[in-house]
Amino acid sequence: MNFYSHAVIAARRDGAPELVLGAMLPDFAGMIRARVPRTHTLQLQAGLELHQRTDAVFHEAVAFRRLTALSVEQLRARGVARGAARAAAHVGLELLLDGALQRLTGIETSYLEALSSARSPRVQGELRWDAAEEAQRFTGLVERLSSHGLSPAHTSPELVALRLEATLAPRPRLALRPGDLLRLRAWAADILPELERATPDLLRVVEAALEGD
């Protein structure tokens, strides 16, 4: 799952801003190329732990595995290399899921409150990054996300394809080849309706599994 999907899970379980923020922190750390910060704050730590449990459950969900296999098949049929197809299918589905959950769940207030809490001096003081530069990059990321708000356009097939291109570019064995960007855009547009149909059941399966922990 990507950060907004983690926010959905956390908000529907509790809704406390610091819990929701903690659930998003591992993805935020990845986005600023940093290790996950350390914290002793109970709600933040609970969110970090929820993130790990959610990912474990989500990646084993039958619906996600089926959609991933189908996506790899579709991307390979369009001419995308095997490694890039596997990576793009996994990451791309998670990005598209953010948009599907935006349209389904309506937790925008909880999401924005979590971002607001990240800007408070108290919470910033509770996050132990490895370097001051990482803390600065995190603050910048939070400011950008807060100013953007939520819009399904941010997870459109066009933007998802561009984000996948940027994500895979640093890894030569997974980087896209000429023409792959258009192939990814077409795949994302084709798979999105099926993903949206599967999203309510996928959300229920993940939440039920978490309740059973």
The per-residue pLDDT for range 10-30, each reduced to its tens digit, is: 999 988 999 999 999 999 999
SS3 category, 40: coil
Quote the pLDDT of residue 151.
66
For the chain, which ranges sit under pLDDT 50?
A: none
Residue 38: what are its φ and ψ, rounded to 5°? -90, 150
- The domain spans of the chain are 3-205
Quote the pLDDT of residue 212.
75
Quote the pLDDT of residue 152.
61
SS3 category, 21: helix
pTM score, two decimals? 0.93
**If you ran DSSP here, which 8-state letter would residue 36 be given?**
P
Quote the pLDDT of residue 213.
66
DSSP 125-148: HH-B-SSHHHHHHHHHHHHHHHHH
